[in-house]
Chain A
Amino acid sequence: MDTSGSGITRREFLGLAGGLMILIGLPRGLASAAEDAAEAEAINAWLLITPDNRVTVFSGKVEIGQGLRTSFAQMVSDELTIPFSSVEMIMGDTTRVPYDEGTFGSESTRTVGRQIRAAAATAREILANMAAEEWGVKPENLVIRDGRISLANDPSKSISLGELTQGKRITRTLKGEAGLMPASEYKVVGKPVPRVDGPAIVTGGEQFVGDIRLPGMLYGAVLYPPSFGARLTGVDTREAEKLPGVVAVVKEGEFIGVVAEREDIARSARGAIRATWQEAKPAVQASLYDNFRRTASPEDTVVDDKEVASSLSSARHSFNATYRTAYVAHSPMEPHIALADFKEGGVTVWSSTQTPFPHRDDLIKALNLEASKVRVLMPRVGGGFGGRENSDVAVAAARLSRAVKRPVMVGQTRAEELTWNYFKPAALIDVRCGVSDAGLITAWDCDIYNCGDRGAEPPYGFPKHIRTLGCDSPLAQGAWRGLAGSANTFAIESHMDEMASTLGVDPVAFRLRHLDNDPRLAKTVQAVAEKYGWKPRKAPTGQGVGFACGNDAGSCCAEIAEIDLDKATGVVHVRRVVVSHESGLVINPDGIINQIEGGITMGLGMTLREAVRYENGKILTDSFGSYRLPTTKDAPVIETVLVGNPTHPPEGAGEPPIFPIAAAVSNAIFDATGKRLRELPLSPEQVLAALRA
């Protein structure tokens, strides 16, 4: 754990080590990178090879549990032919790593991962050229193996990659295409390498933000309003200040926080603060979706194929429906937490964040600091899911630390975690479809309210008109694993299923009929059908089997869910999910399978049960008792096929598997009952109501 604080600048840091440094930049960043490597923010990663033949990779992406620390190192190990254990990843430290907007969107592998792989390949080429020059031979007369370069016709002439650098500062910027190794030569890439952090995790040694202890550190608690939008009108902190163990009660505008020797004391003292509030007019949950329509204003037109309007009006069959999805919480097991150490006009903040650099920018702004005086570190985080982009807790810790001149840790309680962060947006999605006599979709017209455009475009090759509308949201909302993708895919794949069953066509065949434009997804669909042993069927069959598929983050995913439905209680249990996934070159198959299994099982929460409830400006679902996550009892058997495509670059896998699961389950409910549900979660109440209708 690096607890050295902010006493090092990025420039100093970059000047520390000798060796070959490869800077990896986006094309537009190359010029500035060459001029001033230290501060060029267009650099996405850097890679350092030192004389001891070890490689350090500095990446702005962070490890949230998705295994990047392992999979990035696998790529570097192979491209440089050095042992996996000789690669070290430095992540989540705004002083030492290049700028990055954040770790989300299943982007890490497909952007920075690819760049790191290219940087390693480029380093190999540069070093080969250096050796060729020194020995007066052509690079093609050299062999590179096991981290050493040797002469092809005289293996006794040999030098390690690191020795070649002679400890000199050599800075090169990645330009153009790197000569990647063919996937067939990879030894570590494609293997289920165990995660490097596993041993520390199982022994309790992995250090999360809440586990850091600094000398003299104190604990803070923030005073939250009694309801959303309430404004502070008066406060009396005298009693809180008198409590033993309380160091200070800090008031800065409407921000009020307590600092104490212990967290429990800080929280009790907060309870002793007498504050008066002017509360806002609360939103009523029952009218949520009506309010979306009432307050909607057009945002974006995602696709605008001109023939949609005429095709809709002339279509032989039309299918119109509206889909709804609830607000959902991230609820990571580790609530938001930050430790701030403010000294000498600067601050170092360890924070449970997915976005260290935007965090740093928020701190600079909130505390009016110079950029070089703020350092954000993210050592390890207990789950992200898109919910760690807000910096409120980090800013609070920094304010309190500045006030008391000692390090202060602020962590949220579970109730605060479930109340004072943002949620996955609720969604309202209208779909209007036209289908020809031949059973082909001729028009897809879709309005998406409140949730955004991720996954809005069906992967199928029919004409589309899709727009998004912004609405007034009564709750704070933001990213959640896959953003709008799970809501949009629920609508798309439920609608596809309904059209197939109404037309009397097998649901898998109906998708494939519209997938001539997308051979990768078509192959992925065929792969899951084959694995499952899918027989053409006309739903409802009574068996409770549902299919859905989709594309995201460059990957393709198809899922078949089998359910048990208790007709007396309306409870749905997902028994088995068969899934196929194609994400180009697979870096770590076990890591991807872990993401797929987790995505599907987490997705069952929002599919069947999870919904944030609120009343009078308060979140009612503010504990694990009232907001029930999936448990071991909900976990289905999951059988995964990784569809090989090694010549395609590696794509994202953290989010795509969560997209189809809700529709696959809803389609299975239709298959079991002949009833179509159109609102998430697919609660027992909704199932019973549909059965009685």
Chain B
Amino acid sequence: MADAITIRVNGVERTLAVDGDRNLLSVFRTELGLTGTKYGCGEGHCGACTVLLDDQAVRSCVLPVSAVGGRSITTIEGLAENGKLHPVQEAFLEVQAMQCGYCTPGQILNAVSLLRRNPRPSEPEIRDAMSGNLCRCATYVRILRAVQLASQKLSG
């Protein structure tokens, strides 16, 4: 059943004629060509599919498209503005908080969401907020450092 669902994706209104039960991850990856959002588990456990719904990090693999009609979504492709990387992206690069890079988009978007609601998180708060984003390369010590660095950058 195709429904017409309008979503603002990375600042652009998109009207999608898709079955509203399909998950956002699948629709973004196959219909919109936004492949920076990754499949990791399909059950909301790992965070590889994290996108921002308004300012909030959500798991796109378990979110039906019909639930986000009229809302605004940011994927990793839409985070940089006018070619300038977001401070969280800069921080991940500066700290080299990555190995295989598959989970990195989800890590970055989850960190952006954390810093929007809590600009100066403590280390335990960062550990807690980032614990749902798995990294099998286990670059966690760098991810923690990157979020701390991004917090400093954003707080000027």
Q: In the complex, which range does the number of interface residues on chain B fall in?
A: 35 or more
Q: Which residues of B contact A381 (CB under 8 A)?
A: 100
Residue of B nearest to A603 (CB): B138
Question: Please, what's the 1-or-0 string for A372-388, where 1 marks a CB less than 8 Å from any CB in chain B?
Answer: 00000000111111000
- Contacting residues of chain A (598-637) with chain B, CB-CB under 8 angstroms: 598-602, 604-605, 623-625, 629-637
> Are the CB atoms of A629 and B136 closer together than 8 Å?
yes
- Contacting residues of chain A (342-391) with chain B, CB-CB under 8 angstroms: 380-385
Which of A201, A202, A385, A637 gathers most chain B CB within 10 Å? A202
Whether B42 is near chain A, meaning CB under 8 Å from some CB there, is yes
Closest chain-B Cβ to A165's Cβ sits at a distance in Å of: 35
> Are the CB atoms of A414 and B43 closer together than 8 Å?
yes
Whether A168 is near chain B, meaning CB under 8 Å from some CB there, is no
Given contacts A624-B41, A635-B138, contact A66 B130 (CB under 8 A): no
> Are the CB atoms of A385 and B136 closer together than 8 Å?
yes
Given contacts A333-B38, A632-B144, contact A203 B131 (CB under 8 A): no
Q: Which residues of A contact B101 (CB under 8 A)?
A: 65, 197, 201, 206, 380, 382
CA distance A207 to B105 in the complex (A): 12
Whether B57 is near chain A, meaning CB under 8 Å from some CB there, is no
A interface: dominant SS: loop
Residue of B nearest to A200 (CB): B101
CA distance A646 to B96 in the complex (A): 24
Closest chain-A Cβ to B23's Cβ sits at a distance in Å of: 8
Contact count A vs B, C-beta below 8 Å: 175
Cβ-neighbour of B108 out of A198, A202, A630 (below 8 A):
A202
> Are the CB atoms of A262 and B89 closer together than 8 Å?
no
Cβ-neighbour of A601 out of B22, B34, B36, B141 (below 8 A):
B141
> Are the CB atoms of B138 and A194 closer together than 8 Å?
no
Pick out which of these stretches binds chain B: A208-216, A315-323, A461-469, A489-497: A208-216
Closest chain-A Cβ to B85's Cβ sits at a distance in Å of: 7
Q: Which residues of B contact A451 (CB under 8 A)?
A: none
Whether B72 is near chain A, meaning CB under 8 Å from some CB there, is no
- Contacting residues of chain A (174-221) with chain B, CB-CB under 8 angstroms: 192, 194-195, 197-199, 201-208, 210-211, 213
- Contacting residues of chain B (84-113) with chain A, CB-CB under 8 angstroms: 85, 89, 92-93, 96, 98-105, 108
> Are the CB atoms of A631 and B35 closer together than 8 Å?
no
> Are the CB atoms of B35 and A624 closer together than 8 Å?
no
Residue of A nearest to B93 (CB): A198
> Are the CB atoms of B104 and A65 closer together than 8 Å?
no
Q: Which residues of A contact B105 (CB under 8 A)?
A: 202, 204
> Are the CB atoms of B30 and A262 closer together than 8 Å?
yes
- Contacting residues of chain B (117-156) with chain A, CB-CB under 8 angstroms: 126-128, 130-144
CA distance A331 to B96 in the complex (A): 22
> Are the CB atoms of B100 and A632 closer together than 8 Å?
no
CA distance A411 to B80 in the complex (A): 30
CA distance A385 to B138 in the complex (A): 12
B interface: dominant SS: loop
CA distance A194 to B91 in the complex (A): 13
Whether B37 is near chain A, meaning CB under 8 Å from some CB there, is yes
CA distance A654 to B22 in the complex (A): 39
- Contacting residues of chain A (630-679) with chain B, CB-CB under 8 angstroms: 630-638
> Are the CB atoms of A597 and B76 closer together than 8 Å?
no
Cβ-neighbour of A194 out of B40, B43, B93 (below 8 A):
B93
> Are the CB atoms of B141 and A635 closer together than 8 Å?
yes
Cβ-neighbour of B99 out of A213, A598, A624 (below 8 A):
A598
Cβ-neighbour of A203 out of B43, B80, B126 (below 8 A):
B80
Whether B26 is near chain A, meaning CB under 8 Å from some CB there, is yes
CA distance A258 to B76 in the complex (A): 32
Cβ-neighbour of A623 out of B37, B45, B141 (below 8 A):
B45
> Are the CB atoms of B102 and A414 closer together than 8 Å?
no
- Contacting residues of chain B (68-82) with chain A, CB-CB under 8 angstroms: 75-77, 79-80
Given contacts A332-B100, A333-B103, A604-B138, 10 further A-B contacts (CB under 8 A): A194-B96, A201-B98, A202-B92, A262-B26, A333-B102, A382-B103, A383-B136, A597-B139, A601-B138, A624-B43
Closest chain-A Cβ to B38's Cβ sits at a distance in Å of: 7
Whether A594 is near chain B, meaning CB under 8 Å from some CB there, is yes
Whether B65 is near chain A, meaning CB under 8 Å from some CB there, is no
> Are the CB atoms of B36 and A203 closer together than 8 Å?
yes
CA distance A334 to B102 in the complex (A): 7
> Are the CB atoms of B77 and A64 closer together than 8 Å?
no
Return 22 A-B CB contacts under 8 Å, by A number.
A65-B101, A192-B96, A198-B93, A202-B85, A202-B108, A205-B77, A207-B35, A208-B35, A208-B38, A208-B102, A333-B48, A333-B100, A334-B102, A380-B101, A597-B139, A602-B136, A602-B137, A605-B138, A624-B43, A633-B131, A634-B140, A638-B141
> Are the CB atoms of A382 and B92 closer together than 8 Å?
no
> Are the CB atoms of A383 and B100 closer together than 8 Å?
yes
> Are the CB atoms of B138 and A630 closer together than 8 Å?
yes
> Are the CB atoms of B96 and A594 closer together than 8 Å?
yes
> Are the CB atoms of B98 and A624 closer together than 8 Å?
no
> Are the CB atoms of A414 and B139 closer together than 8 Å?
no
Whether B11 is near chain A, meaning CB under 8 Å from some CB there, is no
Residue of B nearest to A588 (CB): B96
